[in-house]
Structure 1
Amino acid sequence: MSKSPNTPSGADTAPASYEAALKELEVLVQQMESGQLLLADLLSGYQRGAELLAYCRTQLDAVEQQIKVLDNGVMKSWTPT
C-alpha cells in the first residue's frame, strides 16, 4: 500500500517528543476532518492516531510517576494562580 501525500510524514516512526506527537495528532485530525482523504488513508490515519495517543498517554503517565516520587508519593492539588 502506497502512502498518499496527505498522510503525515512521521507515520510509522516514534515521535521525537510529547509536543511533536501532539502536533502530528493535530495535523492528522485536521486532515481526517477535511473529508479529502481516501478510505485507505483514513484507516492508516486512524491507526497512526491511536499510536500517537498511546505514546502521549505513556509520556503523561511517566511524568505523573515522577511527580509522585518528587512529592513523596502524595499527589497534591494544583490550582492556577
Structure 2
Amino acid sequence: MSKSKAKKRREKLVREGKRNPSENRGVYALTDMRTRKTKTKKEVLSQVKHKSRLSYESIEDKSTFYFVLKENELMEI
C-alpha cells in the first residue's frame, strides 16, 4: 500500500531533524472516549419485564367495549 503525501512530508520533516507534526496532537486525540458496558443479568431481566408490562395483550383481557345502538341506548359486551 502506498504512503500518502502527508505521511511522506511528516517523515521528511523528521529526517531533517524538525519537529514531527503528529507530536502536536493532544493526548485525547488517540483515545477512545466512549464507554462500553455489557448489560448485567439484572438489567436484561428488568428490560424484558418492562417490555411485557407494556404489551397490549394484558389490557385486552380486562377491557370492556361499548357500542352505540341507538341514540340513547348503550350495550355492554
TM range (shorter): under 0.3
TM-score normalised by structure 1 residue count: 0.25
- Would you tell me which structure has more strand in proportion to its own residues? 2
TM-score normalised over the length of structure 2:
0.26
Identify, as 1 or 2, the structure richer in helix: 1
Larger radius of gyration: 2
* Higher RCO structure (Cα 8 Å, ≥6 apart): 1
